Amino acid sequence: MLDNRKLQILREIMNANKGIHIKNLQEKMKVSRRTIYYDIKMINYWLETNGLDAINTSRQSGFSINLEKEKAIEELLPVINEYEYEPSADERMALILILITCTSSKYGIQELSDLTNVARSTCLKDIKNCSEFLKKFEVGLDYDRVAGYYLLGNEMSVRKSIAYAITLLLDHFHAELLNEKLRRALNNVEMDLNIGHSIDFFKEALMQTESILERKFNDRMLRFISYYLGLITFRIRREIFVDYPQEEGVQVKHAKEYTAAQVVCTKMKERFSMNLNDGEFVHVAIQLLCASLDAYYVNQPNDLSTMIKNEIIPDLIREFEILSCIVFENKPDLQKNLYVHFLPAYYRAVYQIHVENPIKDEIIMDYGEIYSLTKRALRPTEVRLGITFNESETTYFAMHFGSWFKNQGLNLNTKNIAVVCPSGIATSNFIAKQIVNLVPDECNVRTYSFREFESKKPKVDLVVSTSYLNRLTNALCVTPIITSDDKKEILNRLGYTRKTFYKNEIVHDMLNIVEKYCEVKDMEMLVNELKNYFSDDLTLHEEVTYKPMLSELIISDHIRIVEQASDWKEAIKMASEPLLNRKYINQEYVDAMIDTVVNVGPYFVIGPRIAIPHARPENGVNKLSMSLLKLNQDVDFNDDEEHSVNLIIILAAEDNSSHLKALSQLTTLLSRPEEVEAIMKAESVAAILSVIEKY
């Protein structure tokens, strides 16, 4: 029997053209070496049982399967059924919850253990986990000898728990096998309602509403709502309805989504011969309002969407730029993508509908600076709209901002790369950004939804996806945060060897340095020698940008305390002196900061009495650096008393990312009034430094 992990290991081996080493499998699967060897043994047993050769093992290439064997395995994999599949603890919990809530049958320990194919003791643990899980939604799980297990709580809370359970099933690897187990269980107890047919019915109905709504659902959300409506149909048939306050219903009824919901609900009533109360129409409309999208076909004409498009989104981008001290290029496209994401996210916050980001923890851990800046940038928007975005929603916004940083590429031959992702714009762009940073400038990287990719069938050299695309030989399955090994595989698939990778990257940079200090007698020979030197080592060099901490940039020699400045221009010049003296910046950079205030205004006055002047890296930055000036008497920026400043922190960034850790620490410091006050009252450099060194 192949469980979730073994299936994924088999897929990883098949996905690696030239084999995969055990260390790479350990990193991907987060398990021990011993566990990998045990799983390989079980996979080999399964392969041999089905008349196939075992996995090849080699010290050089690791584990591999040749092309002929891969085709035979691909033909066999779809035949694997739910009886051979062993769900994880989370998957079993989700199955149990859906079975209890969506059918009228009695479920006790024996029935649930049979359906989840685990021992009675394991099933008891699963039920305990389910009970703990339901507490998050203020729903209780109880048992009665006659009725079996049942839920206690209002219907809206119960449906929120069902929605979350669906995400646990749909977001897991090899979800189709799991869903087959769910379909079989539901169809056995609700003989007159085939859940598979219901899901297909709702998917078709939802796709028909796209023309009414003038928008396109992303693949993941289309699948999710189809499952959700299919499952709550079981409850509606038993006349378990939801109700909404009258004022809320009136508000929703003015939206296009209510018109679309009427179409879906009318089809639903006819198909399943059941009654729906007014609350169910509103409920379906709210699901449509909260659905993540791939695109709007036209601008939405209502007042809220106009305000979000023309005010909220530009203000959000501006706030992020101020906090991060960067300027986004191609801003209209960023505004468009944020707008598509923002409206459903807003409604999810309003109606407290949770959509889990499967890589939330990885984003917070690996892109903590961008997440922290995004969280702070969203606060004025949250206050203005009277909402709060949870962690998952914030990480989606962080992915949008992170994917839009200026990309630096290489100069090689053109290749076309498609990123096909069911999870929406944020994840697709996030993956695309990592690929753009890896491959040459001339490579065309474009994102597609599954439906768009299937309909257009673009000719590409490589398809990168978060799901396995069995029909495509040029497809590579990756995680949303692309691993080092997958980066190597991307370059290999595109035909970029380490030699060509270095030819245009490191050799070029080294020659620029050499020419500054040496007279080169034979440039051609030097270039060839360097190319040969770097092509000897076959391992890919991973460029890692070091991000210094705040205390490493604002050191004692970069801090000044003075009584006053004659005006804001002199204040900027005085604050810049430590960096000028060390030649970390040129005079051109100081002039650029002053010109910015004259032409744009004092937008880098980020709070009461605090300014962080900065300009573009190309305007005279020689080294990433920061300096701090404390004025005992404030100075007005641009002759504006509302922008009076005592604390000036100069930021000289070399690029769009290396300063983010220090800046994130600085914004955390400046968000704490007691720390700011301590700096304002400080009478010595040591006193200021003692505050900075806490971060």
* Active site annotation includes 197: no
CB 521 within 8 A of CB 426: no
How many other CB atoms sit within 10 Å of the CB of residue 606? 18
Edge-to-edge, what's the strand order for the sheet holding 609-611?
Answer: 559-562, 625-637, 640-652, 609-611, 605-607
Pairing mode, strands 416-420 and 444-448:
parallel
Q: Which whole-number Å values give the CA distances from 58 to 265, 469, 660, in the listed order?
A: 58, 27, 43
The dihedral of CA 88, 94, 96, 98: what is its sign?
Answer: negative
* The pair of three-digit structure tokens given for residue 634, joined into one six-digit string: 């404030």
The dihedral of CA 369, 375, 379, 385: what is its sign?
Answer: positive
How many other CB atoms sit within 10 Å of the CB of residue 81? 11
* Helix/strand/coil for 297: coil
Phi/psi of residue 248, each to 5°? -70, -40
Distance CA 99, CA 112 (A): 9
557 membership: H or E segment, kind and range: none
Distance CA 87, CA 122 (A): 12
CB 362 within 8 A of CB 324: no
* The pair of three-digit structure tokens given for residue 557, joined into one six-digit string: 């020699």
* The pair of three-digit structure tokens given for residue 271, joined into one six-digit string: 């198909």
Measure CA 635 to chain center. 42
How many CA atoms, within 13 angstroms, populate the side-chain half-sphere of residue 8?
A: 22
* The pair of three-digit structure tokens given for residue 134, joined into one six-digit string: 């339901």
Find the catalytic residue in 341, 558, 614, 643.
Answer: 614
**What is the residue whose two structure tokens read 């929406």?**
424
* Helix/strand/coil for 351: helix
CB 653 within 8 A of CB 326: yes
Q: Which residues form the catalytic set?
A: 614
